[in-house]
Structure 1
Amino acid sequence: MKVLNFLFAALFLITVTSCSSARSTTRQGVDLQQYRSFTLVDNDDTYLPQISKVHKSQIENAITTEINKISPENLGVTGADVLVNYFVVVDTKTDVQTYNDYYSRRWRNLPINVELTYYKEGTLIVDMIDAKTNKTIWNGSTSSVVTSNSMEVERTINKAVASLFEQFRKDRTPKS
């Protein structure tokens, strides 16, 4: 029975950590339906010191693609209703695995082995700001493990941005 509980807990943990979903907050009293045009805020290279120019470009391309899906008539618009800004945070995380050494039965208490694994987790935060009032109307974030494989990084960025904008589209639909 303990083995089944352990396997269920491990499966649940793997499922939760492998697909980090987008989280969002909409400013109270704001109707997201009223906003029709969006533009990406142009940030200089010192704004995001933790990521490379290539990754910055990939994030901006993914955001622009998603903006154009929301509002196809958005292309070339000046004076947009919403300014879209983003920020990236990369943290070093520690995964701790402990297990008993069942093969060393000479001692009364079984020794516990601890295995530490360090990895990087990136969090993408997207803010949508009302251009007239300069107040944030929507905020979304998603996190994922950062890999060194450049093709995988681009796929992860595209997937993360798509999940954030999917959440925005859900928040934008009128609640009945």
Structure 2
Amino acid sequence: MGNIFKTFGAAAFSGLLLAGCASTAHVEKDKSVNLNNYKTFAWVDTRESKNDTVKTKVSDLTERTIRDAVNEELEKVGWKQSKKPDVLLTYDLLVERAVKEENNPVYSQPLTRYYYNPYSRRWIPVYYPSEFLGYDRDRRPVREGTITIRLIDAKNDKTIWQGWTTDEVASRNLTGKEIRNGVKSIFRKFDVAKN
């Protein structure tokens, strides 16, 4: 019986640790739309403007990675790619510089002092606990990557659902792992917004 509790405790701790590492995702949905009515999708190019002759500039490897990650998540909920889709998919990737500010609490060191009591002729310990002194503020430059996924109704060209996530990244481009983790974070909220 003790082993069951140890195993369950380790699994729960691992789950909390993984949840803490995941980036926070946000979603918006057209409230008048029931996503259960959609079952097929296709990808469309994203351009900066109507006159732009080149779609959003990302490498073909990055594009394949994001499309494969989104396809996998949609196929998990029973959607399929189609030449006559219910939904058109677009994405945006953005990596920009930002400043991250961290506020760390600062405490004094606890200490014990001894006082001599001449009446009892004994040394008496007096404990002083640590005290809150304020915050140590740290500002450092970081790069933040944002992934946005949009679902557009193929009949009326209206956005029916969008999800996005922003997280700190290591370089000017998002890695495949960062893309897959971001897409998973976004689609964890897909079922919540489905009805």
Q: For the Cα contact (< 8 Å) 1:85–1:127, is it kept in 2?
A: yes
The answer to whether the 8 A contact 1:81-1:132 is kept is yes
C-alpha displacement at 1:83, in angstroms? 0.6
Secondary structure at 2:192 match in 1 = helix
The corresponding residue for 2:12 is none
Which letter does structure 2 place at the counterpart of 1:79? Answer: K
Determine which of 23, 27, 37 is the counterpart of 1:24.
Answer: 27
What is the Cα deviation at residue 53 of structure 1?
3.5
Q: Distance in 2 between matches of 1:97 and 1:17?
A: 17
TM-score (norm 1): 0.67
**Which of the pair has more CA radius of gyration?**
2
Local SS of the residue matching 1:61:
helix
How far 1:149 moved relative to its partner? Answer: 10
Q: State the 1:155 CA deviation.
A: 1.7
3-state SS of 1:157 partner: helix
- The CA distance in 2 between the partners of 1:164 and 1:98, in whole Å, is 28
Query: What TM-score, normalized by structure 2, do the two folds share?
Result: 0.62
Task: Point out the structure with the larger strand share.
Answer: 2
The SS at the match of 1:169 is coil
1:117 counterpart = 2:122 = no
User: Higher helix fraction: Structure 1 or Structure 2?
Assistant: 1
Asked if the contact 1:39/1:82 (under 8 Å) is kept, the reply is yes
Does the 8 A contact of 1:40 with 1:64 survive in 2? no
Name the structure 2 match of 1:106: none
- CA shift, 1:148, in A, is 3.6
Q: Quote the sequence identity (%).
A: 27
Partner of 2:186: 164
Deviations 1:126-147, CA, capped at 9 Å, x for gaps: 1100000110000111111112
Number of equivalences: 145
Of the candidates 123, 128, 131, which is equivalent to residue 154 of structure 2? 131
Aligned match of 2:116: none
Q: Where does structure 2 lack aligned partners over 5 or more consecutive residues?
A: 1-18, 48-52, 107-135
